[in-house]
Structure 1
Amino acid sequence: MKHATYDKYPEIRIKGFENQAWLGWKAIAQAIQARLKSGEKVVLTIDCYPGVRADELRAQLIAHLKPALAINADVARLSEQHLHDLLAQNLTDDRVFGVLSCHQLHEFFCPDKLAQAQREVNEASGIIVIYGPGASLIHQGDILVYADLARWEIQQRFRSGEMGNWGANNENEDILRRYKRAFFIEWRVFDRHKTPLLKRADFLLDTNTANAPAMVSGEALHHALQQATRQPFRVVPFFDPGVWGGQWMKDKFDLDPSKPNYAWCFDCVPEENSLLLRFGDVRIEIPSQDLVLLYPRPLLGEKVHARFGAEFPIRFDFLDTIGGQNLSFQVHPLTEYIQQHFGMHYTQDESYYLLEAEPGAEVYLGTKTGIDPQEMLDDLASARRGEKAFDDEKFVNRFPARKHDHFLIPAGTVHCSGAGAMVLEISATPYIFTFKLWDWGRLGLDGLPRPVHLEHGAKVIDWQRDTRWVTEHLVNHFEPIAEGDGWREERTGLHEREFIETRRHWFSKPVVHHTHGGVNVLNLVEGSEALVDSPANAFEPFVVHYAETFIIPAAVGEYRISPYGSGSGQTLATMKAWVRG
Structure 2
Amino acid sequence: MPTASPSHTEPGRYVKQPTVPLPAGARVRTGAEAWAEAAEVATDRADGRAPLLVVDAYPGADLPRIAEIIADALPQWHLVDVEDAAALPADVIDARIADNLTDDRVFGVLSHAHLDSFYDTERLDKLAVEVDGAGRPTVLLGWGADLVARRTGAPYALVLADMARWEIQMRQRAGATNWRAQNPDEDQLRKVKRGFFVEWRVADRHKRAMFDRLDFVLDASAIGSSEPAPRTPGMITGDAFRTGLANAAQAPLRVVPFFDPGVWGGQWMKEKLDLDPSKPNYAWCFDCVPEENSLLLEDAEGAIVEIPSLDLVLSQPKALLGERTFARFGAEFPIRFDFLDTMGGGNLSLQVHPLTDYIQRTFGMHYTQDESYYLLDAGDDAVVYLGVKDGVDREAMLADLRAAQDGERPFEAEKYVNAFPAKKHDHFLIPAGTIHSSGANSMVLEISATPYLFTFKLWDWGRLGLDGIPRPVHLDHGERNLEWYRDTAWTESNLVSRVETLSDEDGVVEERTGLHELEFIEVRRHWFAEQVAHDTGGTVNVLNLVEGDEVEIISPTGAFEPYTIHYAETFIVPASVGPYVIRRTARSRSERFGTVKASVRGTRTGEA
Measured against the shorter chain, the TM-score band is over 0.9
Return the match for 2:86 from 53, 76, 86.
76
Q: Is the 8 A contact 2:339 2:444 kept in 1?
A: yes
Residue in 1 aligned with 2:228? Answer: none
Instruction: Report the CA distance between 1:67 and its aligned residue.
Output: 4.6
Return the match for 2:41 from 22, 26, 35.
35
Q: Is the 8 A contact 1:316 1:425 kept in 2?
A: yes
Residue in 1 aligned with 2:211? Answer: 198
Which AA in structure 2 matches 1:340?
R
Q: Is the 8 A contact 2:526 2:596 kept in 1?
A: yes
State the TM-score, normalized to the length of structure 1: 0.97
Which AA in structure 2 matches 1:384?
Q
* 2:37 partner SS: helix
Instruction: Report the CA distance between 1:567 and its aligned residue.
Output: 2.9
Residue in 2 aligned with 1:46? Answer: 55
Say if 2:26 is the partner of 1:22: no
Say if 2:16 is the partner of 1:8: yes
Unaligned 5+ runs, structure 2: 1-9, 225-231, 603-608
Residue correspondence of structure 1 range 223-372 to structure 2 within 5 A: 223-281=243-301, 282-372=303-393
Residue in 2 aligned with 1:142? Answer: 156
Which AA in structure 2 matches 1:65?
L
Which AA in structure 2 matches 1:284?
V
Which AA in structure 2 matches 1:323?
G
Q: Distance in 1 between matches of 2:313 and 2:148?
A: 27
1:375-423: CA deviations, max 9, x gaps?
1010000000000000112100000000000000000000000000000
* 1:86 partner SS: helix
Q: Distance in 1 between matches of 2:545 and 2:441?
A: 21
Q: Distance in 1 between matches of 2:42 and 2:193?
A: 40
1:263-305: CA deviations, max 9, x gaps?
0000000000001111123211100000000110000000000
* 1:136 partner SS: helix
Say if 2:128 is the partner of 1:107: no
Q: Distance in 1 between matches of 2:587 and 2:400?
A: 52
Residue correspondence of structure 1 range 533-548 to structure 2 within 5 A: 533-548=554-569
Q: Residue 325 and residue 569 in structure 1: after superposition, are their counterparts in 2 closer, same or farther (change >3 A)?
A: closer
Q: Is the 8 A contact 1:347 1:411 kept in 2?
A: yes
Q: Distance in 2 between matches of 1:73 and 1:36?
A: 18
Instruction: Report the CA distance between 1:13 and its aligned residue.
Output: 1.9
Which AA in structure 1 matches 2:204?
D
Say if 2:469 is the partner of 1:462: no
Instruction: Report the CA distance between 1:69 and its aligned residue.
Output: 3.2
Q: Is the 8 A contact 1:67 1:129 kept in 2?
A: no
* 2:186 partner SS: coil
Say if 2:530 is the partner of 1:509: yes
Say if 2:221 is the partner of 1:208: yes
Q: Distance in 1 between matches of 2:157 and 2:278?
A: 46
Q: Residue 323 and residue 3 in structure 1: after superposition, are their counterparts in 2 closer, same or farther (change >3 A)?
A: farther
Which AA in structure 2 matches 1:399?
F
Residue in 2 aligned with 1:155? Answer: 169
Q: Distance in 1 between matches of 2:159 and 2:43?
A: 16
Residue in 2 aligned with 1:173? Answer: 186
Q: Is the 8 A contact 1:277 1:285 kept in 2?
A: yes
Instruction: Report the CA distance between 1:36 and its aligned residue.
Output: 4.1
Q: Residue 260 and residue 449 in structure 1: after superposition, are their counterparts in 2 closer, same or farther (change >3 A)?
A: same
* 2:222 partner SS: coil
**Identity rate of aligned residues, in percent?**
55
Name which of structure 1's ranges 499-508 and 205-214 shifts more when overlaid on structure 2. 205-214
Q: Distance in 2 between matches of 1:103 and 1:484?
A: 54
Return the match for 1:388 from 409, 412, 418.
409
Instruction: Report the CA distance between 1:306 and its aligned residue.
Output: 0.2
Q: Distance in 1 between matches of 2:114 and 2:107?
A: 21
Q: Distance in 1 between matches of 2:223 and 2:56?
A: 18
Residue in 1 aligned with 2:96? Answer: 86
Return the match for 1:420 from 420, 438, 441.
441
Q: Distance in 2 between matches of 1:541 and 1:535?
A: 10
Return the match for 2:423 from 395, 402, 417.
402
Name which of structure 1's ranges 298-307 and 566-575 shifts more when overlaid on structure 2. 566-575
Instruction: Report the CA distance between 1:40 and its aligned residue.
Output: 4.0
Instruction: Report the CA distance between 1:43 and its aligned residue.
Output: 1.1
Q: Is the 8 A contact 1:91 1:98 kept in 2?
A: yes
Q: Distance in 1 between matches of 2:564 and 2:300?
A: 20
Residue in 1 aligned with 2:540? Answer: 519
Q: Distance in 2 between matches of 1:183 and 1:556?
A: 31
Q: Distance in 1 between matches of 2:588 and 2:489?
A: 40
Instruction: Report the CA distance between 1:15 and its aligned residue.
Output: 4.1
Q: Give the number of aligned pairs.
A: 577
1:121-167: CA deviations, max 9, x gaps?
12111211111000011013610001001111101100001x11002
Instruction: Report the CA distance between 1:113 and its aligned residue.
Output: 1.0
Say if 2:586 is the partner of 1:572: no
Say if 2:195 is the partner of 1:185: no
1:443-502: CA deviations, max 9, x gaps?
000000000000000000000110000000000101011232111100001000000000
Residue in 1 aligned with 2:6? Answer: none
* 2:339 partner SS: strand
* 2:32 partner SS: helix
Residue correspondence of structure 1 range 114-129 to structure 2 within 5 A: 114-129=124-139
Instruction: Report the CA distance between 1:68 and its aligned residue.
Output: 4.9
* 1:427 partner SS: strand
Instruction: Report the CA distance between 1:21 and its aligned residue.
Output: 2.3
Name which of structure 1's ranges 400-409 and 483-492 shifts more when overlaid on structure 2. 483-492
Say if 2:107 is the partner of 1:97: yes
Q: Is the 8 A contact 1:71 1:117 kept in 2?
A: no
Which AA in structure 1 matches 2:172?
F
1:337-371: CA deviations, max 9, x gaps?
00000000100000000000011100000000001
Unaligned 5+ runs, structure 1: none
Which AA in structure 2 matches 1:270?
P
Root mean square deviation, CA, Å: 1.3
Say if 2:140 is the partner of 1:130: yes
Q: Is the 8 A contact 1:263 1:320 kept in 2?
A: yes
* 2:41 partner SS: coil
Q: Residue 559 and residue 68 in structure 1: after superposition, are their counterparts in 2 closer, same or farther (change >3 A)?
A: closer
* 1:266 partner SS: strand
* 2:482 partner SS: coil
Which AA in structure 2 matches 1:194?
K
Which AA in structure 2 matches 1:265?
C
Residue in 1 aligned with 2:495? Answer: 474
Q: Is the 8 A contact 2:540 2:572 kept in 1?
A: yes
